[in-house]
Amino acid sequence: MKILIVLAKDPHESFLIKLQTQELISEIKNLLLRRRNTQAMVTALAKGTVEREINSQDLMTVNADLTISRDRVNWSVGSK
């Protein structure tokens, strides 16, 4: 599962993270269900694999299953 972490609107503060295990995916989903977005972002950054840094021009073209910011969580329309 790939997630986009948006730390701020600054172009160099967005990261595409790959969550490698089902256990980690479940942990992130549980945090989001409890509305702990910031903790979910920190956990994903700490335990996931950073694939790349995303600049502001590429935000709309990134293929991520989930986008997390401090205030919002958005699932991709085509996610499984």
Mean pLDDT of 57-76: 87
How do residues 3-12 score in pLDDT, each as one tens digit? 999 988 765 6
Query: Which residues span the domain enclosing 68?
Result: 2-75
Identity of residue 79:
S
Is 41 within the bounds of a domain? Answer: yes
What total of structural domains would you count in the chain?
1
Among 18-22, 29-33, 39-43, 53-57, where is mean pLDDT lowest? 53-57
Is 80 within the bounds of a domain? Answer: no
Residue 44 CA to residue 58 CA, distance in Å, equals 20
Mean pLDDT of 55-66: 85
Helix/strand/coil for 47: helix
Give percent of the chain above pLDDT 70.
90
